[in-house]
């Protein structure tokens, strides 16, 4: 990870880009929907054309990441978001008539959605394309200028994407910047009109503090421990397969990966056996490029440390693949853990890797209680064909989003808002809600030449008394 200090020249450069974008916004504060749609199309064409080099850059940053994973989880999702948003944005941008009460007629009211101005986006390393392009799509659709800060932990992607943006947009439309933590800190101190940060809860706190000095509103897309609850009625092999796919995609380095599984006590053994079959079905060998590497030695050591810590404290480790981990290639063998204890690091910290603690439960109420005793997660997964059980889980827990009977797929629904709650974040984007997140929802009341407003103004006489008597009835 490049944590080198950035020369102050780079920090000055941030300010220059910001000033240029702000001036451009003032010159053209409400770009036409046609122009915004053209920007989205340009972005889509650029991503599509560069997809192979993007996949290569990300793979090099990770040590190895399956290009197929990049195509499915980053390129396809980004292009879908662009298509969906381009299709709807003309309608979203239209003034919306809102009702007025009888007392304010014959005037009328409208809600305008106007661009905020200059938006900042901070991107993590784990899905660097989708987590840059997703917010960028919403912010451009809403008519903003956008500065994107890419992650120093994905430097090759950072270079590729910054070049792509420079080739595709004028600097006062979209500018992508790279740099270490010092640049990131300077970036979030810019007086943006809105700042969207995706990353860890710890850094999210610092970002919100820095934004507070400028009263910059923030959307925080953070992480956490997302549970998967398997109900007694659900076929255990199907649940195991879907949970392990979610766990092993990007080798578990996914904000919405199922972090741990709550499994009926009597079915834990069957679940572990099915999990092993699922992993070996997905990845006949861990050595092949299809299985992604842990992105850095630091993260590999952190995950290996979780296993050691858990084993020392009495957990049982169940390797889900016959091949061992390879620290040189940073391939970590998927492993289930049973007999876990809440004091273990693997049960306290966000795992962000292919380790799956299994927590047994007796009654559904116990599983719900377990989830509710911890910070509100980014995602929750419920596996049941019993609508009553699913409704009980949905009605008695809280999380950023939910997929029922699978993992992660709620994120790919462009018509659904995406965002955490509590420790997993605040605010939402994607689709209509993303358009709104980067718009000023500006209420406008249009008065008519002839109206009754004067009836309530001084001097207060008998007519006022009669009228207010009716109004306060
Ligand atoms: P991170 O918090 O270390 O870094 C994220 C970004 O913040 C990077 O671009 C970095 O340059 C920048 N940054 C670092 N220090 C900063 C500071 N002091 N001030 C301002 N910016 C700073 O996170 P990461 O390791 O890149 O990503 C992993 C985390 O992100 C996990 O917790 C994961 O759950 C979370 N995540 C959340 C989502 C989501 O959509 N909610 C998506 C992906 C990842």
| Residue 121 beta carbon below 6 angstroms from any ligand 1 atom | no
- Of the residues 221, 231, 248, 350, which is catalytic? 221
* Sign of CA pseudo-dihedral 202, 204, 206, 212: negative
Q: Which pLDDT does position 152 carry in this prediction?
A: 97
- Counted residue by residue, the chain has a size of 473
Q: Which pLDDT does position 1 carry in this prediction?
A: 37
Find all residues with CB under 8 Å of 49, minimum gap 6, and list them: none
pTM of the model: 0.95
Strand, helix or coil at 63? coil
Q: Which pLDDT does position 73 carry in this prediction?
A: 98
Spacing, Cα 173 to ligand 1 middle (Å): 24
Cβ atoms of 44 and 36 within 8 Å: the answer is: no
Q: Which pLDDT does position 5 carry in this prediction?
A: 43
* Nearest atom within ligand 1 for CA of residue 124: 26
**DSSP assignments along 286-348, one per residue:** TTSTTSPPPS-HHHHHHHHHHHHHHHHTTPEEEESSSSPPBTTTTBPPPEEEES--TTSHHHH
Q: Which pLDDT does position 7 carry in this prediction?
A: 55
How confident is the chain (473 residues) per 10-residue block, as mean pLDDT? Answer: 52 97 98 98 98 98 97 98 98 98 97 98 98 98 98 98 98 97 97 98 97 98 98 98 98 98 98 98 97 98 98 98 98 98 97 98 98 98 98 98 98 98 98 98 98 95 96 94
> What is the set of domains in the chain, with CATH numbers?
8-222+423-442 (3.40.605.10), 227-419 (3.40.309.10)
* 221 is an active site residue: yes
Q: Half-sphere exposure (CA, 13 Å, Cβ side) for 41?
A: 8
Going by alpha carbons, the residue nearest to atom 44 of ligand 1 is 255
Cβ atoms of 453 and 447 within 8 Å: the answer is: yes
Crossing angle for the helix pair 8-27 and 181-188, nearest 10 degrees?
A: 30
- Of the residues 69, 152, 255, 350, which is catalytic? 255
Query: Cα 353 from chain centroid?
Result: 18
Going by alpha carbons, the residue nearest to atom 26 of ligand 1 is 124
Query: Cα 413 from chain centroid?
Result: 12
Percent of the chain as helix, strand, coil, to the nearest 5: 50, 15, 35
Going by alpha carbons, the residue nearest to atom 6 of ligand 1 is 124
* 173 is an active site residue: no
CA atoms of 321 and 323, how far apart (whole Å): 5
CA atoms of 1 and 115, how far apart (whole Å): 35
CA distances from 139 to 161, 278, 386 (A): 17, 39, 39
| Residue 223 beta carbon below 6 angstroms from any ligand 1 atom | yes
């Amino acid at each position: 990870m490049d944590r080198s200090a950035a020369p102050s020249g780079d920090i000055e450069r941030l300010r220059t880009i910001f000033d240029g974008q702000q001036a451009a916004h003032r010159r053209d504060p409400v770009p036409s929907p046609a122009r915004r749609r053209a920007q989205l199309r340009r972005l889509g064409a650029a991503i599509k054309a560069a997809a192979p080099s993007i996949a290569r850059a990300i793979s090099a940053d990770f040590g190895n990441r399956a290009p197929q994973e990049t195509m499915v989880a980053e390129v396809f999702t980004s292009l879908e978001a662009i298509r969906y948003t381009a299709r709807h944005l003309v309608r979203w941008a239209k003034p919306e008539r809102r009702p007025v009460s009888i007392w304010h007629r014959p005037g009328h009211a409208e809600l305008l959605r106007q661009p905020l101005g200059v938006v900042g986006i901070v991107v993590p390393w784990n899905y660097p394309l989708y987590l840059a392009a997703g917010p960028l799509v919403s912010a451009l659709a809403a008519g903003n200028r956008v500065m994107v800060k890419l992650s120093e932990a994905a430097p090759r992607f950072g270079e590729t994407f910054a070049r792509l943006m420079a080739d595709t947009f004028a600097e006062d439309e979209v500018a992508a910047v790279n740099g270490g933590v010092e640049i990131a800190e300077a970036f979030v101190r810019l007086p943006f009109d809105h700042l969207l940060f995706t990353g860890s809860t710890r850094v999210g706190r610092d970002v919100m503090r820095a934004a507070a000095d400028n009263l910059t509103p923030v959307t925080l897309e953070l992480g956490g421990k997302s549970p998967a609850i398997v109900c007694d009625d659900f076929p255990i092999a199907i649940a195991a397969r879907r949970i392990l796919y979610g766990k092993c995609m990007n080798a578990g380095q996914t904000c919405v990966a199922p972090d741990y599984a709550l499994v009926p006590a009597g079915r834990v053994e069957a679940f572990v056996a099915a999990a092993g079959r699922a992993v070996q079905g997905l990845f006949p060998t861990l050595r092949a490029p299809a299985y992604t590497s842990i992105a850095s030695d630091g993260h590999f050591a952190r995950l290996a440390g979780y296993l050691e810590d858990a084993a020392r404290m009495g957990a049982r480790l169940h390797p889900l693949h016959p091949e061992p981990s390879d620290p040189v290639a940073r391939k970590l063998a998927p492993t289930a853990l049973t007999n876990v204890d809440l004091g273990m690091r693997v049960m306290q910290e966000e795992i962000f890797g292919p380790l799956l603690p299994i927590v047994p439960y007796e009654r559904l109420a116990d599983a719900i209680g377990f989830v509710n005793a911890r910070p509100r997660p980014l995602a929750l997964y419920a596996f049941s064909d019993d609508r009553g059980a699913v409704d009980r889980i949905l009605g008695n827990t809280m999380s950023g989003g939910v997929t029922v009977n699978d993992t992660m797929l709620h994120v790919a629904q462009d018509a659904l808002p995406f965002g955490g709650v509590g420790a997993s974040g605040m605010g939402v984007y994607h689709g209509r809600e993303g358009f709104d997140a980067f718009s000023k929802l500006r209420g406008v009341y249009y008065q008519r030449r002839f109206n009754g407003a004067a009836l309530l103004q001084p001097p207060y006489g008998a007519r006022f008394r009669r009228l207010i008597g009716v109004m306060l009835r």
